[in-house]
Amino acid sequence: MDAAALADLALDIAREAGALARRRRAEGVAIAATKSALADIVTEADREVETLIRARLDEARPDDGFLGEESGAERGTSGITWVVDPIDGTVNYAYGMPHYAVSIAAVEGEPEPSAWSWLVGVVHNPAVGETFTATRGEGAFLDGQRIAVSEVGAAGALLATGFGYDPATHAGDLARLARVMPLARDIRRAGAASLDLAYVAAGRLDGYFERGLHPWDHAAGALLVEEAGGVVSGLPGGRPGRAMTVAASVSLHARLLDAIGE
Ligand code: IPD
């Protein structure tokens, strides 16, 4: 199966999963468990949507690996791994804010995220009916229309960030924010990392940075940003991940990394 076929599969599954998330939201959502922190929650819908996505992938691609936020990792034999956040922005979802997404990526080069090559990324917000898609080498799209990162290179950037769940990291998050603020027209903390990255890809945000992301938070969005002409990295020389994820146009990315510092 080529990358275009993987992309079609991811898109179909993301839409079906998004429809399920929306239905469950309409029926009323309860927080099923609090995980590492008050902001780190899971609802029954997160679990049900991930189960659906996993079942569809198993039917279509039984030899592929899987890494999901709610059900963990399973090695495959095909060299392709699916990286899934069934509902990214679970706090928004639980509170009825229409800013959450199903995020599905196909990557090559298991098992280490640092060795992955992103092949396909789909970020679907069922609440507003928007779908961002990218396939390696083929560009990035919003509902079929090509998108590109903005070209804001200096002061006046609209930036987004997020805060890690571990309270021990909050002082560092705030100090970093203070260093970055002089570059910014304004800052958003919208609550769904995959959509933050998709919005950078679409030029709705000029840049984004966050510490503490897991692969399922950023894999699909990172490919969207790259395919929209932007850059995604970790700290200088590193890949995006727990230590840091920074996404922006080429020129703003360098300025952001400088401001973020260590
Ligand atoms: C979270 C969101 C949030 C980000 C957290 C993520 P979840 O994902 O993307 O914006 O700040 O780091 O874990 O838990 O809602 O799937």
CATH topology of domain 3-146: Fructose-1,6-Bisphosphatase; Chain A, domain 1 (3.30.540)
Specify the CATH number of the domain 157-260.
3.40.190.80
What is the number of other CB atoms lying within 10 angstroms of the CB of residue 23?
11
Q: Rounded mean pLDDT of 125-133? A: 98
Of the residues 50, 206, 217, 227, only one is catalytic, namely 217
Ligand 1 centroid from CA 191, angstroms: 6
Cβ 210 vs Cβ 195: under 8 Å: no
Q: Which of 85, 196, 210, 226 is catalytic?
A: 85
Q: Return the domain boundaries, the chain.
A: 3-146, 157-260
**Three-state SS at 55:** helix
Q: Taking residues 15-43, report their average pLDDT.
A: 89
* Residue 256, token pair as written in the block: 């952001």
**Does the active-site annotation cover 217?**
yes
Closest CA to 128 of 229, 40, 204: 204
- Average pLDDT over the chain reads 93
Residue of 50, 64, 69, 110 marked catalytic: 69
pLDDT of residue 1: 60
**ipTM of the complex in this document:** 0.96
Q: What is the band of 114 on the pLDDT scale with cuts at 50, 70, 90?
A: confident
Residues 137-155 pLDDT 10s = 999 999 999 999 998 876 7
What's the pLDDT score for residue 112?
77
Predicted pLDDT at 110: 60
246 residue type, one letter: V
Closest approach atom of ligand 1 to CA 164:
12
Known catalytic residue at 90? yes
CA 207 to chain CA mean position, Å: 14
Q: Where does the pLDDT of residue 201 fall: very low under 50, low under 70, confident under 90, or very high at 90 and above?
A: very high
Instruction: Provide CB contacts within 8 A for 156, sequence distance 6+.
Output: 184, 185
pLDDT for position 257:
95
Q: Pocket of ligand 1, candidates 92, 217, 244, 245: which has the most ligand atoms within 8 Å of its Cβ, to mutate?
A: 217
Tokens linked to 142: 């919003």
Residue 262 pLDDT: 61
Distance (Å, whole) CA 198 – CA 212: 18
Q: What is the DSSP string of 13-42?
A: HHHHHHHHHHHHHHH---EEEE-SSTT-EE
**Catalytic: 186?**
no
